[in-house]
Each structure stands twice: as structure tokens, then as C-alpha cells.
Chains A and B, each alone.
Chain A
């Protein structure tokens, strides 16, 4: 199985900012999480991190994160331009 790395940005709303999302991502999925930069406040927060694991497991983990209500984006921001 080939291991992959993916760089992503999570954005937390006020409702989600206190949830241990990154801990659970690493604990419940076979994914290594590596935080590089973050700004987390009481009402909002974002975290830029690298994920390492199999493609399928990273995708499964990101789908779960997205379903919690945390926004998942590529680190380069939106790449579709008008």
C-alpha cells in the first residue's frame, strides 16, 4: 500500500471550535496528523496541517471531518477562478 500526504486547511465555526476533531481524526482513522500553522479563538479557528496515510484512509478521514461541519479546503485556497 502506498502512503500519501495531503495538505489541508480546516476551518472551525463557533459550534465546532471546542471539539477534538484533529485528535479523533488521528485516533479513529489510520492517519498521521501534523499541524503546521493555526489560529484558534473562542469563536472561530483554522488549522493548516498535513495528513499522512493511504489515499483511501485520508479520504475517509476527510469525509468524516467534513460531515462534522468543519470546513475542509486545499491549503492554497479556492483554485477555481472566474
Chain B
């Protein structure tokens, strides 16, 4: 069973029952899940977690849906790798990569969608829906297939065919909308108001977003129940960024981190900060769409929406729903934000591939380039424990790195091969 008490408005604090709602009726502020942490603290232990499935559902006590029969394609519990080669290159002796690109549909979205889909089934919905340009579409279609319910996926009509196939293969109803990005946005909001569907990031959003907390839990568990000194997180809406922070603080407050005393959550569960959580939260955005980082750099308290123009499409949210909250987390954690020049996104992809054998999508390139910047500027110390989150697979954005294909062209003769090889070696020197 889930230990959910209900929903609470982040702005005015009004409480609501745990229903498919995402906005406060009074002030239109976003709603967040609130938990019965007293009961959770009585049942949750390291052993109970370890005895759970090898997926996000091992943390079922801290998720807002019942784990009795989750919609689970085995999202989560992805590898945390000590990145010795990349660390050596960047002068970081204690660097780890959280490789979330190996989730079942090849991105971290499986975590959030698994929770949203489980909740949707719990509420009795028969259709799971989303609007997406890539990863989310794949994950929603895959989870709907697993749940045996319908999927409706809205995509921009001009979306590249390669990106559509990853979702279409699961046989959802694909709706290709002719119009600008803003028009697609507006249509989906209207559809969600008028159809009895579970839109994962609209009416399911309070539950959906909670799935990202597992990125914090897993890193802590895989590090032996401790938290890093630094994390580098790619951000679009800002939701994942805030939830990783929340995940660390939940573990601390529940006494699940080694050597950390539990403490009450206080009046506002969603802004709790346990003093033992000293992790600096660093946000990675691409320069072509960086409204949150811009606000941080300019010391503003408002997020100014932008029109995205970035090759990092999976981070291209110009009007981020959790922008202001993630800005607060940057400040509260003593972290930072960095807008990676567009030209360095691909460099980041290549650097990770060449050093650690991990092929990430453009969002991962943004993360690695931000990590490099933080190392070079001394924001991350050589011996500090740093974790970089890689949230999507490179096979999703192959076109971004087409330039790497440069084979030796040889005739089927030894002489031809040796000549080509010598020329290549000479060129490398």
C-alpha cells in the first residue's frame, strides 16, 4: 500500500485528497504529494529495501502508488560506475556516472512513467497520454502496453521519423499535430481538460514527478547509504532536479543514511532540508534553452520563459513548470548552474563515450560538459565525491554525432589496409 496522505499546494498550502489533480483550485499553484512519514519510518529499513525488486519499486514505501501490482517494465536500479578514465581526464579522483540510459525504454522517463502508469491504473483510467518529442513518448507507449491499456501520444508533425519509431512500435495512437511548439502545448492542455485520460505530466504530474526521487535513493544506496558531495543533473522542467534533492533529504530525515540521525519533516515536507545533506546540486542546461540557469546567473527570483533553440531536444522546455523550485534548490544546496555552449554538447557526448564506453544522448553531453566546466573551475574538488546523471541513450540522437563516422577506406588487399592504417596513425601524431 502507498503511504499517501493527499496532495498539497506548493504555493498556498491548501490540501486536497489523493486524486488525479495537479493544480490548486484556489491559486492555480502546483500540487505535491504528501506522505504519512510517521508510518513510513516504522516500516522502512535497509533490509526491506534490499528485499524488494531490482527496480524503482524497491523504494515502494516512498512512492505514491501501491506496489501490489505496479506497471513495471523494470525501470531503475541502473548502474553507478566509478568513472576512472573520465575522472583522470578531469582531475577528479572520486567521480561516478549514474548510467540511467540503460532503462528499458532507454531513458530515465521510465521511472516517472512507471509511477504515473501505476497510479493511472489505480484510478481506473483506461488511457495513458502525453505530449512528447522523444523519450517520454517511448516510455508512455511502452508502459501502456505493459499495463494493457490504450496510449495516446501527441507529437509535433515535423518530428524526425527515427524518434517516432521508438514510440510507434508499441502501437499507441500517435497524433501528429501540425503547428508551432506553443500550439501543440496549448492543444494538449485543452485535451487533458476534456478527455478522461491520464496525461502523465498533466493530471498525473504530482505522482509522476515523484518517480524521479528514486534517482536520489539509488545513488545513496549504491554508495553504501551516503550522499555525494556534488551531483550534476541535466534539467528541462526542473522536476527531476528537485526530486533528487528531495530523495536525499527524505532518506536523511528517515534515518536511512549511515551516521545520520533522523529528524521530523516539519510543516512543509516538500522543502525539508536535513542539515546532514550537504550535497551541492549543479544544474546542467544547454545554452539554447537555459531559463533556469539564466535566472540563477542573474540572481533573479523569476524564470523568464524562452523559445527553445537547442540540439539537446530532451532538455528543450522553455517554460519550466518546476523552474522556480529548482532555482531554490540550487541556492539552498550551495550548488550552481551552467549553460553549456551548443558547440560543446557533442564534445560532451564524445568525451563520455571515449573514456567510459557509455553512449549518451545530447542531454548527457550537456551533463558531461557541465561536469568538465565544474572540474576546470575548481567548483568540484579533486577528491570530492561527485555523481553525474546520464539520463538518456545515445541511440536516440545519433544524428548529433554523425561526424564520428570516418572509417578507413581500403581495397580488399593487405597493402591497401596497411597504407590506410599508416596514414591514419600519422594523422593522429
Contacts and interface: CB of A to CB of B under 8 A. Distances in A.
Nearest to A40: B302
Contacts of B188: 79-80
B29 A80 contact: no
Residue with the highest number of chain B CB atoms closer than 10 Å, among A11, A36, A39: A36
Contact of B136 (A71, A73, A77, A81): A81
Interface in A30-82: 36-37, 39, 41, 44, 46, 48, 50, 71-82
A37 B130 contact: no
B187 to A, nearest CB: 10
Given A11-B305, A44-B304, A71-B305, A79 B185 contact: yes
A25 to B, nearest CB: 17
Tell me if A's interface is mostly helix, strand, loop or mixed: strand
A34 to B, nearest CB: 10
A76 B202 contact: yes
Contacts of B135: 81-82
Interface residues of A, number: 22
Nearest to B11: A37
Contacts of B185: 73-74, 78-80
B317 interface: yes
Contacts, number: 97
B395 interface: no
A82 B391 CA distance: 11
Contacts of B363: 82
B319 interface: yes
A5 to B, nearest CB: 9
B201 interface: yes
Given A36-B26, A48-B28, A82 B313 contact: yes
A82 B189 contact: no
Given A11-B304, A44-B304, A73-B185, A82 B319 contact: no
B199 interface: yes
Given A36-B28, A37-B28, A71-B305, A80 B181 contact: yes
Interface of B: 11, 22-23, 26-30, 109, 130-136, 154, 156, 181-182, 184-186, 188-189, 192, 199, 201-202, 205, 236-237, 300, 302, 304-305, 313-323, 363
Given A71-B319, A80-B154, A82-B313, 4 more contacts: A7-B28, A37-B28, A80-B133, A82-B134
Give 9 closest A-B pairs by Cβ, nearest first: A82-B314, A77-B321, A74-B189, A81-B136, A80-B131, A78-B317, A78-B319, A36-B28, A48-B28
